[in-house]
Chain A
Amino acid sequence: MKMFSVSHKTAFVVDHCPYMAESSRQQVECDVLTKSRGQGMIPLAPVSKSLWTCAVECSMEYCRILYDVYPLKKLINYIVSDSEFHILNSWRQEDQSTHELMSALAAVGPPNPQEDPECCSVLHGLVAAVESLCKITEYQHEARTTLMDTADRVANRGRIICLTNAKSDTHVRMLEDCVQETILEQNKMAAGSDRLMPIQQCELVLVHIFPQGEDTLVSDRPKKEVSSLLTSQVHSVRAGRHLATKLNILVQQHFDLASTTITNIPMKEEQHANTSANYDVELLHHRDAHLEFFKSGDLHMAGSTSRDSGLKETVTLKWCTPRTNSVELHYCTGAYRISPTDVNSRPSSCLTNFLLNGRSVLLEQPRKSGSKVISHMLSSHGGEIFLHVLNSTRSTLEDPPSISEGCGGRVTDYRITDFGEFMRENRLTPVPESPDTEASGKPPAERAKAQLERYTRYWPMIISQTTIFNMQAVVPLANLIVKESLSEEDLLTCQKTVYNLVDMERKNDPLPISTVGSRGKGPKRDEQYRIMWNELETLVKTHVAGSERHQRVLDCIIACRSKPPEEEERKKRGRKREDKEDKAEKNINKDSEDKSWQESERLKGALERGKEEQGESEVIKDSPDSPEPLNKKPRLEEIQLPEKAKGPVSLLTMWTNRITVANSRKHQEFAGRISSVNNKAELYQHLKDENGCVIMYCI
């Protein structure tokens, strides 16, 4: 399928020749402005706009609607033609705004009636428009560069809307022929250029404008094929409101728009603040917002009315006064930008301001059966108003089982609040695109995912499964250890947290250990601390690969907790042993861990220096016996690091083990791969399993 339709590029060619200065003869009453004046004033005579003014106003209205509904990728090139052509903007996206065009038009000024009519022609503009259509837009360029091999899928098509005052049907034919010839000429030139593309299809829309009260010299003609490259149509329209209506219809046809009229909008009257009257506001938007009506055949029942002898249709939807400001997620199947048909009218601006202030309005659709259903919603996002299509058909998700009835539904102590806190910390924010961030590697979303991975490496789901996350004292460390990198200050904070825990243990402070599932009072105090230290180690170990400072936090923990387990062991079964025996055994077995002991002593020393003497005496009091041999029950049994494995270990093995451990923590193996035979797994095994649980149901 080819990319870029005819509506990607629209060239406006507006006739600026002396004859366009002629009056449209549609009068604008001005005396109404001055009713409150005193006597003796000169009454204001009505004014009428020139053909040029009408053409400019109506074409700008076309642009306004287009830019409202399609802020991107639908481009306009505005060209004015008199004795030469004036291109007012380029295809570039930043040139696409009505403000830009208005300023450029102000600089052009009205047609000069004194100019020599012989030199002036709309032809200059038409030739310029064809040339312009050959120029590729930034979007076409981007698509061509990214598609590479299939760059021929990028089409170059466009539309020329010419607003002029033609002399006759022959004159119109002459203009068509001229465009046809120019296309052939330009296509030859474009074939050899990088920045140009031959025109594959061009739609010429000639709008002949003539003053009111005159007969037209040019006949209307529907679209016909001039050649395989060019189609042409002629619209003969009276200046003034007829022209405005015509261009409004054209913009709808050209860009697949449809009209919705919101009825029953209650508005306070300016004079009588207590009363409110109901108003209607017409909006234009992409016609897909009415898709449901077309499909269900409800279109005409939905209050669709024909106006202007069937040329224009609008669907009527009824305003439902919003009750609350509550935020909720509606099931919405589409959202389309809108543009009010009459943007400055009081009802329109009241409605749009209401929406821009953050309120949403539900809209009701009358149905065939006479029943009513909420089918749409108007809501603004960042200064843009969207018409949301709400799902109003039956849902396949009738009466789903509650999550509390499923797996894990009967667990009552989930860490809901903690996970909520975690979610708040992992909210997203838009990061401005800049060459710098690209250079720094990962795109923001990947960094967000990496952060989630780090934060959840160890994250117990229920309160009774964890000790450390129920302890205020661990918070500083737990918050810091998940960081990608630690500063020297962070490291100190972590170490302080550990020392603080050691201190707590020495003081025999109670721990928030869950007693669920255990009889009586639960584990003894020293056992509680053993559980706590194990858990803390598990948490920190999942991050040691992060940086050298992460490793030092772990070292600190291992060092600081090294005594308590010995005490435990000793209390349990070491009392009968002889001191000397123990000492000898210990010396033999401790060789491999000398380093860690040294570190431990060093850190302890550092800690002890800051402690009161009481602490010192406690340690002594608590340790009347010498330490228990370590080999009887290795402290780090379950969570032993590869480095600590017995016997000589090669660096490679250490590394591989470490990576495997790290990787296995990050993901669960695919069920298919685990149960696969020769790398082939049977699909949909749950079909056979009567109790099979299906993860997802689709509506």
Chain B
Amino acid sequence: MLFEHMATNYRLEFTSLVAFSSLWELLVPFTRDYNTLQEALSNLEDYDKTCLEAALHGVSNVVQQEWGHACPTQVIYQAMILIDLDVLLYVLYTAIPHQAVNEYIKLNYVTNCVPDLEIVGFIEIGDISSPPVMSRHLVLPIAVNKEVDDVGPGTTEEPEEETSANQQAGKVPNFCVLLHGSLKVEGMVALVQLGPEWYGMLYSQADSKKKSNLMMSLFEPGPEPLPWLGKVSQLGPISDAAENPYGEDDSKSPFPLQPKIKRSYAQNVTVWIKASGLQTDVQKILRNARKLPEKTQTFYKVVTRESAGMDTLLFMFSRLKMVENMEVESIHSIMDVN
């Protein structure tokens, strides 16, 4: 009965069947084939006793192996069906709740705690650049009432009205389809806000050459989910800027934001823990010293660049022999040249 309901309403959900008593067993791995599930259910035999704990462990294993660790963020539905009055046998089914966000949003329509999805603005795919996300969702357009349609779409919200006339619905313009098309053509994403300090993005994803979809990915909640965008609350319309930050011909971009201090690999740091590091740096100076006095400028440049580390570390040597030698070396070099 349950599966029939699901097969009708949630064709795209994945369901697996796990039977348990003192042990647990995966009867059907995650599938969309409800017939297989039905069949497996009718073939179930009775077992000795009920042990829910073991089953939950089992379910956790199954989910993790199949979908990876990113999935536990989603609730696992459980249902217990009493099949026989004589023998207590529980059947546990798990489904990945596809419509979790939908429910979340719908819930909030009623409780009015959190407003619905709002588009903040648009960003190029290259600028948002494969951001880490906590979940992905498929966004399916639903038909909007004709009256509402005439007013024109409110871009800041998803249509929520439903109609049974699905065949007609294909011909009624839908904002999701328009948005998807433009995002795809322009190579952009729409930055959306789900709640206070919770953001995500809408984008077009191609499954194959023919099929493509509107998707929504959610970032970790927080004011600054991506360091290279900075605080989302500080992202404003380009019309606010004195000069178009993208350039008149789209030749530049205000993203990514540069950190105030460069990382060690992006600057010249002095690390002499390994002998090679020290040797390379000293060699650089000697090489330039040999070219004195012609290349005085280059020599100074190298010395200045290296000096930050040199000054700090040279003095640390307990023996000054090397420095003495270097001086001798430099004098020799100058003399050689002359």
Contact = CB atoms under 8 A, between A and B. Distances in A.
B103 A697 contact: no
Given A445-B193, A691-B166, A694-B99, 7 more contacts: A45-B325, A71-B259, A328-B130, A384-B228, A452-B156, A695-B160, A698-B100
Contact of A452 (B12, B69, B119, B264): B119
B338 interface: no
A374 interface: no
Contacts of B189: 329
A35 B145 CA distance: 85
Contact of A397 (B10, B132, B138, B154): B138
Contacts of A445: 120-121, 193, 232-236
Interface in B143-178: 143, 148, 151-162, 164, 166, 169-178
Contact of A49 (B70, B240, B276, B318): B318
B118 interface: yes
A624 B263 CA distance: 81
A68 B235 contact: no
A136 to B, nearest CB: 22
Contact of A385 (B109, B186, B263, B308): B263
Contacts of A332: 130-133
30 contacts: A23-B318, A30-B322, A33-B279, A38-B336, A64-B264, A106-B311, A292-B69, A329-B128, A333-B68, A333-B132, A352-B265, A403-B212, A403-B213, A406-B177, A407-B169, A407-B177, A408-B175, A419-B178, A419-B182, A429-B241, A443-B234, A448-B120, A448-B237, A456-B152, A456-B154, A460-B152, A668-B157, A668-B159, A668-B161, A694-B140
A687 B317 contact: no
Contacts of B157: 667-668
Given A98-B264, A396-B98, A423 B188 contact: yes
A405 B138 CA distance: 14
Interface stretch (B82-90, B267-275, B296-304): B267-275
Contacts of A365: none
B93 to A, nearest CB: 15
B103 A396 contact: no
Contacts of A34: 286, 329
B319 interface: yes
A429 B232 CA distance: 10
A216 to B, nearest CB: 21
Contacts of B254: 429-430
A687 B278 CA distance: 71
Contact of A384 (B65, B119, B153, B227): B227
B97 interface: yes
Interface residues of B, number: 166
Contacts of B321: 44-45, 47
A295 B69 contact: yes
Interface stretch (A184-192, A410-418, A576-584): A410-418
Given A447-B236, A694-B99, A670 B262 contact: no
Given A383-B258, A444-B240, A461-B175, A58 B139 contact: no
A228 interface: no
Given A23-B318, A98-B269, A693 B152 contact: no
A102 to B, nearest CB: 5
A44 B170 contact: no
Contact of B125 (A103, A328, A419): A328
Given A445-B234, A667-B156, A689 B316 contact: no
Contact of B266 (A383, A406, A458): A383
Contacts of B14: 396
Counting contact residues on chain A (CB < 8 A from B), the size range is 35 or more
A396 B99 CA distance: 12
Given A33-B286, A400-B138, A382 B257 contact: yes
B251 interface: no
B44 interface: no
B34 interface: no
A416 B182 CA distance: 5
A339 B186 CA distance: 35
Contacts of B131: 332, 335
Nearest to A681: B110
A414 B178 contact: yes
B316 A52 contact: yes
Interface stretch (A75-83, A340-348, A545-553, A641-649): A340-348
Residue of A96, A110, A419 contacting most chain B CB atoms (<10 Å): A419
Contacts of B273: 57-58, 61, 241, 244
A430 B234 contact: yes
Interface string A496-529: 0000000000000000000000000000000000
